[in-house]
């Protein structure tokens, strides 16, 4: 990643040779799409006994829309994405504020979150589209800073950290106001991903790492002690969030007909699949909200350890492909963007599968490309579009031409 700039290619799309399309990433996402349709079909059919046709049609609509967005983004070069960043960020902030006043009351009553807008028969979660918006904005901030400060010193690096926090902090606050702790953690992961490739001096990472470790220690103290829980309750934490922590720390201790039921049933379903699964026609363990939050339990029950391993390997190949592109690109802006996408997807996968097997607390984070839900799928496909754009515009050691900086 020697020269961070690039030439201005204007605002028109130009079709290029097919060899410049990142086919491996496309094929992996198509494979995940196929698995997602099968898992959704089985989840709806097994748990409700109703026809899954409506759910499949709805998910198909979002897939078509998502692929369309990804193709459009693929044709935008880095300069166009750079200029788009503040617009998408401002729009995302507006939506996050708007949802605090216009959130869906029915969903708030069921899950305690002020995170959803409802339009007719559709629901939409603004925090999902804010994820790629924050990725673009943080990438713009880091790129602009590194253009201004060619040499990294302590002073300039702390200025950069301040700029990144200034962009991220409003999003974190709005997530807390929405009672959406899971999405807040995703934004922290995005921040971390771009921070790690920003070029900040390594000696700064140690005190920052110690700070995060201290924060993590305080968080553990807060959720496991009476004093800490009283403080969290006063700043907006809900009873169901504490119950999720209790279920994680001591699974099965709560009444399995209430807060711990979802986790208990997920573990039961995955465990019943054993090595090769019970078969796709033998899904029988009921898991609440299996089609979205707990979709991994369908794969674990129907296809067993082998099916879960194959799915995880597909995610590994997707992440690996993106990381290879990051190390190969000559455009630092693209490197920042795709690093943010990598951490967004990686955290989603780890959190969703982890909460399904009681490795981490329940947070309601969907499994990328598999879980039902248009908002999440749209955010993921925007991320794929950004990754495809990097390869499509040929900023690699093999194809890149001499680049010029942009503002």
Residue 58: domain span: 32-200+238-392
Dihedrals phi, psi of 181, to nearest 5 degrees: -70, -35
SS3 call for 117: strand
pLDDT exceeds 60 at position 404: no
Q: Picking from 280-284, 349-353, 378-382, which range would have the lowest pLDDT averaged per residue?
A: 280-284
Q: Is residue 208 very low, low, confident or very high in pLDDT (cuts 50, 70, 90)? A: confident
CA distance 107 to 168: 26
CA distance 326 to 322: 6
Count other Cβ atoms within 10 Å, centred on residue 343.
23
Q: Dihedral sign, CA of 145, 174, 359, 135?
A: negative
- Whether 187 and 171 have beta carbons less than 8 Å apart is answered as yes
Cα atoms found within 13 Å of the Cα of residue 307, Cβ hemisphere only: 24
Number of domains in the chain: 1
Please give the C-alpha separations between residue 354 and each of 28, 97, 186, 317, 360, in angstroms, as whole numbers.
22, 30, 14, 19, 5
Q: What is the pLDDT of residues 324-345, one digit of tens each?
A: 989 888 889 999 999 999 999 9
Judge whether 214 lies within some domain.
no
Judge whether 22 lies within some domain.
no
SS3 call for 329: strand
Selection from 142, 236, 259, 133 nearest residue 186 by Cα: 133
Q: Hey, what are 133's tokens?
A: 């918006």
Judge whether 314 lies within some domain.
yes
Report the Cα 297 to chain-centroid distance in Å: 19
Dihedrals phi, psi of 226, to nearest 5 degrees: -65, -45
Judge whether 19 lies within some domain.
no
The DSSP annotation for 367-393 comes to PTTTSS-HHHHHHHHHHHHHHHHHHHT
How much is the average pLDDT of 12-27? 74
Q: List beta partners, residue 118.
A: 123
- Structure-model confidence comparison of residues 11 and 85, the more confident one: 85
Q: What is the pLDDT of residues 284-306, one digit of tens each?
A: 888 887 888 889 999 999 999 99
Q: What is the pLDDT of residues 355-375, one digit of tens each?
A: 999 888 888 899 999 999 889
Q: What is the pLDDT of residue 184?
A: 92
pLDDT exceeds 90 at position 377: yes
R_g over Cα of the chain = 22
Q: What is the pLDDT of residue 230?
A: 81
Q: What is the pLDDT of residues 82-113, one digit of tens each?
A: 999 999 999 999 999 999 998 887 777 667 77
Which residue carries 């290879």 as its tokens? 324
Q: Is residue 2 very low, low, confident or very high in pLDDT (cuts 50, 70, 90)? A: very low
pLDDT exceeds 60 at position 118: yes
Selection from 351, 352, 235, 374 nearest residue 297 by Cα: 352
SS (HEC) of 287-302: CCCCCCCCCHHHHHHH
Judge whether 213 lies within some domain.
no
CA distance 141 to 160: 8
The DSSP annotation for 30-69 comes to HHHHHHHHHHHHHHHHHHH-S-THHHHHHHHHHHHHHHHH
Judge whether 10 lies within some domain.
no
CA distance 296 to 40: 10
How much is the average pLDDT of 389-401? 63
- Structure-model confidence comparison of residues 407 and 61, the more confident one: 61
Whole-structure pTM over 0.75, yes or no?
yes
CA distance 350 to 22: 25
Which residue carries 């995302």 as its tokens? 92
Judge whether 352 lies within some domain.
yes
- List, in order, residues 6 or more apart from 218 with CB less than 8 Å away: none
Judge whether 334 lies within some domain.
yes
């Amino acid at each position: 990643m020697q020269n961070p700039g690039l030439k201005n290619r204007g605002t028109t799309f130009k079709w290029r040779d097919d060899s410049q399309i990142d086919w491996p990433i496309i094929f992996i996402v198509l494979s995940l799409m196929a698995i997602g349709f099968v898992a959704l079909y089985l989840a709806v059919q097994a748990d409700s006994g109703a026809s899954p046709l409506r759910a499949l049609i709805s998910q198909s609509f979002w897939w078509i829309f998502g692929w369309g967005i990804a193709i459009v983004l693929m044709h935008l070069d880095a300069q166009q994405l750079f200029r788009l960043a503040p617009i998408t960020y401002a729009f995302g902030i507006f939506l996050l504020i708007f949802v605090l006043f216009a959130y869906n009351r029915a969903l708030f009553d069921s899950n305690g979150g002020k995170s959803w807008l409802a339009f007719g028969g559709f629901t939409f979660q603004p925090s999902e589209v804010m994820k790629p918006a924050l990725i673009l904005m943080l990438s713009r901030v880091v790129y602009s800073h590194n253009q201004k400060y060619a040499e990294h010193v302590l002073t300039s690096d702390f200025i950069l950290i301040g700029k990144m926090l200034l962009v991220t902090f409003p999003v974190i606050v709005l997530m807390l106001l929405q009672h959406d702790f899971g999405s807040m953690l995703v934004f922290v992961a995005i921040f971390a991903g771009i921070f790690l490739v920003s070029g900040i001096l390594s000696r700064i990472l140690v005190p920052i790492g110690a700070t995060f470790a201290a924060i993590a220690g305080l968080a553990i103290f807060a959720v496991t002690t009476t004093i800490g829980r009283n403080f969290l309750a006063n700043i907006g934490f809900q009873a169901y969030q504490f119950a999720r922590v209790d279920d994680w720390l001591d699974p099965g201790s709560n009444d399995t007909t209430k807060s711990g039921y979802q986790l208990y049933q997920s573990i039961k379903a995955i465990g019943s699949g054993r090595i090769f699964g019970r078969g796709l026609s033998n899904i029988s363990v009921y898991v609440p909200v299996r089609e979205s939050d707990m979709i991994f339990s369908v794969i674990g029950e129907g296809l067993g350890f082998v099916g879960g391993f194959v799915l995880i390997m597909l995610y590994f190949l997707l992440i690996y492909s993106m990381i290879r592109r990051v190390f190969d690109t000559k455009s630092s802006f693209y490197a920042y963007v795709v690093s943010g996408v990598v951490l967004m997807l990686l955290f989603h996968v780890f959190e969703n599968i982890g909460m399904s097997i009681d490795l981490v607390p329940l947070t309601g984070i969907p499994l990328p490309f598999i879980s039902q839900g248009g908002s999440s799928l749209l955010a993921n496909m925007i991320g794929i579009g950004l990754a495809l754009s990097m390869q499509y515009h040929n900023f690699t050691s093999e194809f890149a031409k001499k680049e010029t900086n942009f503002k």
